[in-house]
Structure formats: C-alpha cells, structure tokens
Chain A
C-alpha cells in the first residue's frame, strides 16, 4: 500500500510543509521541501523519528547555577525521557567551554551531551 503523509519539517524556522510518500517497495519520496535537509527529515520521520534535546545541568565553582547542554546529534524520539533522566544525574564544575562533552555516548546512542555555552567562573 502506498502511504502518504503531509508534515511540517522542523529542522529550521521556515517550517516547510513537506509531503512524504512511502511506496510498496519501501522507497520514500519527499516533495515540497525547500532545501535538501527536508528530504532527510521526511525520510527519518517515517522510519525512525529523531530529535535534538536541550536541557541544563548543575554547575559548581561558578557564579552560574546551571550550564545549558544539547545533544551533538539527533537521538531517537523514543529515548527522550530516558536521556533526560541521564542528564539530570550530572553535575559539572567550571570552567567549561562550549562543545565540551558532559556525557559521552549517552545510552549508547552515539550522541554526546555537550555544553551549549562556555562558563569560565
């Protein structure tokens, strides 16, 4: 059976309304995308949807209380809450630079949790 879904690409604020069609032989066609990222988004959204996670971890030796963090690549949507639980276990210490790894290969996803801001003190 041919399956067709209209969806909004969430990769950038442009929010293209893309049409994703899955043919019987499993091939996926993406239409109405403005840039090539829309094709990747449409394909993964109907096979294995992924998301970026942003959150914070506590930081010590700093005038700041929290360090904002982000996954350095998208993670499977189904793992969002498990990864949040991992993020909430972590405390870090200043100084820290943007991009520094806070959790390596979180839950074996191949994705790291990294600092999204530098905090020197």
Chain B
C-alpha cells in the first residue's frame, strides 16, 4: 500500500473527530489520520471554559477544555496519526484529500472519509441586522474566544441579541469579569437556550430577557453607542411605538449555528434541506460511498456528549466496513407534523449488521407542553411515546429496536408529534 494512503481520514479534531478516531480503533482500520486546522485538538471546546460537559459520556461534570483533554487521553491509547495546523482545501469523489500545513501542500487518499468540521455562528449579515458597520458588534463565540483564550474584554456595556446558549453563557461570563449586561433580546416568544442557562446565566444576575423583541437599529459613529429594541408581533414584524433604547458599547449576536458545509457542498454530497447539511443514513454515510458526516457538521447539537456518541459510531462503522455488507433494506425517514428535522434521514439495514436498535434524533418546531410522538410506516405504528415539555432548543434522542420495523416495506418512517391539549 502506498505511504500516503489511509484506511480512514478524519477531517476536524474537535469532539466529533477525536471520538471518530477512538471509534475507529474498535474496528479493523490500521491507519487512521486525523487532520485538525488548529494548533491543538479540541475545537470549540477549548474556549468553552464553563462547566457542564461530559455528564453522559464521562459520567462527570467537566469544563470544555477538560472534556477535550479526557477525549485526547483516550485518543492517545489508539494508533491515530494526528496532524495539527492542517487545513483541508479539497476532497475528490475518489477520496483524495488535499491539505496544507507547515510541511507544505499534501495529498493523501483514503478508503473512508469522516467529516467532522463542526459548525459556524450565524453573523449579522445572515439576520439582516439593520444599521451601520460599527466596531463592537460581533458574534458571542468571537467574544468568547477573545475573553477565554486571548484574555481581552470586548466591551463594558453589553447587549445580546438571540438567546442561544453561547449568548447566555457570555452574558454571565462578561458580568463576572466586570461588564454590565443590559439585556438579552429574543425574536421568538420562547428562549432558544437551555432552561438551566436562563436560570444560572440570566436570572442569577438579574439580566432581563426580552422575548418577542428584536434590535431594529444600531447607532454610533465609529464604535457602537446605542441600540434600538422593538417588540415584534405574531408575524415577527417590529411594532412601531414599542421602541426602547439602550446605551451600550457592545452587541453580541447569539443567533444560531450552522453546520460547516464548505467541503460537503464542494464534494457534491446530497443535502437534507431541513438540516442544510448532508443527507445521511443511520451509519452516518452520505450518498457518496465511504464518506461520512457527523457531529455539528451534520446538525447542531446541544450536548457535546451526543457529538461524541455520533463520532464514535461513525468511526466504528467505517472501521468495520459495515456499509460494504449486502444491503437488505433502505427506509427513508420523514419529518412529519411539528418535527423540524430528523437525523438520520434514512435507515440502511445490512446483512450481518448485528445492531439491535437504531437511534433517531429530532427537533420540534415549537414548544409543546404535552405531546405524543409517533413513529409510523404508513399505517404501521412502530413506536409511540408520551413526552412533556418539548422545546425546539432541546434535541430529542430516541432508540428504536429494529424488530419493530417492517423491514420489507418501502413506506418511509414518519416521525410526527401530536399536541395534547390540556
């Protein structure tokens, strides 16, 4: 075998990529390469210094860097070849990977490629934030990098647009470091962050949360000086006459994350319009044989523990060559009533694939207090579950035994949620 050929090449050395390499060590793969663009493995975990990671995966509560370190400790037990400061620029369908690093431009080939390139924050351009281009307006994650990695405070009087978890975490973090956070505005009538973060990041510090509000103007000369906040109606349109003004020098945006799909799209991988990332089956395989996508590059997770779980599975499937077994059945999964998306988008059942159950993750479109979740293939009820307090910001993860499926049916599996009125 050529020197620059690998069984598996993993692109992205965050939680997903490290876990994929650990998963790969459980199979037959002998040569696994992990490419990471940063100077250190861990990805976004490295700047998430707050606590709360790892309760599922490591059964202990860790900071982001602590979680990354424990994964790295596990990774060191494997034979994975790690290349840092390596930026992948191109992948071909026959699985040649071009990357640059301090050694120069390199091309390697692989039997399997696992893409775990994480996600990107939405910026002001993606939400059409009105007003001038002033200093002091940035994403919450950018402020987090400056503060937690570089040691710079980006401002003293702060407002936050969007109630995503990073925004809530940064509201607390900047307060602890001496800034005044005047408020958090959320366009929707409900918060987009985890409930626990509303309590421990906002309520603990008396930071007001303005639901059904948005920022309609940013004012200043060079640096941000003032923002205009308006309430929105049921169509999310700002209501004139509800203006409030806040004198702030910093506006942080926490308006959502999007899977990083540059390489995925360049490669021509089929996209699921709901997740805006790859259409994958329950083996995390895309429509290109031997190319897998998992972690935040696939869909946005609220817990890193689930990213690790997906990464380990994808690594193990690739390493065991599962998808080269004879295909028995293929069933599409459809997001039905009140369901925003599902992952995977398809079930592929292989002969000799000895898994007992499959996992479906989904998010709903609106908060529902009391719900029944249905998994159906046509008229055949596969599984039915009662759930309470479903909210869009919390991902549901459900395991279903294979034996409940009608495997010879061509009917798609529909996941739908029925609201039970109290």
A contact residues vs B (CB 8 Å cutoff): 7-13, 15, 17, 51-56, 58, 63-66, 68, 70, 77, 80-81, 84, 98, 116-118
Which chain A residues lie closer than 8 Å to B177 at the CB level? Answer: 55, 84
Output the least CB separation between B258 and chain A (Å). Answer: 21
B49 within 8 A of A: yes
CA of A13 to CA of B168 in the docked complex: distance in angstroms? 14
CA of A46 to CA of B195 in the docked complex: distance in angstroms? 19
**A55 is contacted by which of B69, B176, B195, B199 (Cβ under 8 Å)?**
B176
Instruction: Write out, one digit per residue, whether chain B residues 55-92 have a CB within 8 A of any chain A CB (1) or not (0).
Output: 10000011111101100000000000000000000000
A12 near B63: Cβ-Cβ < 8 Å = no
CA of A80 to CA of B49 in the docked complex: distance in angstroms? 16
CA of A70 to CA of B53 in the docked complex: distance in angstroms? 13
A56 near B52: Cβ-Cβ < 8 Å = no
Output the least CB separation between A100 and chain B (Å). Answer: 12
In addition to A12-B55, A81-B176, 13 A-B residue pairs with Cβ atoms within 8 Å of each other are A11-B196, A13-B302, A15-B194, A15-B394, A55-B177, A56-B49, A58-B151, A66-B149, A66-B151, A70-B66, A77-B204, A98-B69, A116-B51
B200 within 8 A of A: yes
Give the one of B49, B62, B151 with max A CB within 10 A.
Answer: B49
Which chain A residues lie closer than 8 Å to B69 at the CB level? Answer: 98, 117-118
Which chain A residues lie closer than 8 Å to B61 at the CB level? Answer: 12
Which chain B residues lie closer than 8 Å to A53 at the CB level? Answer: 176
A56 near B148: Cβ-Cβ < 8 Å = yes
CA of A84 to CA of B63 in the docked complex: distance in angstroms? 17
**B196 is contacted by which of A8, A58, A68, A118 (Cβ under 8 Å)?**
A8
**A8 is contacted by which of B151, B195, B303 (Cβ under 8 Å)?**
B195
B contact residues vs A (CB 8 Å cutoff): 39, 49-52, 55, 61-66, 68-69, 148-151, 176-177, 194-196, 198-200, 204, 302-303, 389, 394
B199 near A10: Cβ-Cβ < 8 Å = yes
Closest to B200 in A: A10
Closest to A80 in B: B176
Which chain B residues lie closer than 8 Å to A10 at the CB level? Answer: 196, 199-200
CA of A12 to CA of B195 in the docked complex: distance in angstroms? 10
Output the least CB separation between A87 and chain B (Å). Answer: 9
A70 near B148: Cβ-Cβ < 8 Å = no
In the complex, 16 of the A-B residue pairs with CB atoms within 8 angstroms, ordered by the A residue number, are: A13-B52, A54-B50, A55-B49, A55-B176, A55-B177, A58-B151, A66-B149, A68-B49, A68-B64, A68-B66, A68-B148, A80-B176, A98-B69, A116-B66, A117-B63, A117-B66
B196 near A15: Cβ-Cβ < 8 Å = yes
Given A13-B194, A66-B151, A98-B66: A52 and B49 interface contact (C-beta under 8 Å): no
Given A68-B65, A117-B69: A13 and B303 interface contact (C-beta under 8 Å): yes
Q: Lowest 9 A-B CB distances belong to which pairs?
A: A117-B65, A116-B63, A68-B49, A15-B195, A10-B196, A15-B196, A8-B195, A116-B66, A10-B200
Given A8-B195, A65-B151, A117-B66: A54 and B49 interface contact (C-beta under 8 Å): yes
Given A12-B55, A13-B52, A117-B66: A56 and B196 interface contact (C-beta under 8 Å): no
Closest to B389 in A: A17
Which chain A residues lie closer than 8 Å to B49 at the CB level? Answer: 54-56, 68, 116
A51 near B200: Cβ-Cβ < 8 Å = yes
Which chain A residues lie closer than 8 Å to B195 at the CB level? Answer: 8, 15, 17
Which chain B residues lie closer than 8 Å to A9 at the CB level? Answer: 196
B196 near A13: Cβ-Cβ < 8 Å = yes
Closest to A12 in B: B55
Which chain B residues lie closer than 8 Å to A80 at the CB level? Answer: 176
Output the least CB separation between A91 and chain B (Å). Answer: 12
Which chain B residues lie closer than 8 Å to A13 at the CB level? Answer: 52, 55, 194, 196, 302-303
A51 near B194: Cβ-Cβ < 8 Å = no
Output the least CB separation between A49 and chain B (Å). Answer: 9
CA of A17 to CA of B196 in the docked complex: distance in angstroms? 10
Closest to B45 in A: A117
Give the one of B150, B199, B389 with max A CB within 10 A.
Answer: B199
CA of A17 to CA of B389 in the docked complex: distance in angstroms? 9
Given A9-B196, A77-B204: A65 and B149 interface contact (C-beta under 8 Å): yes
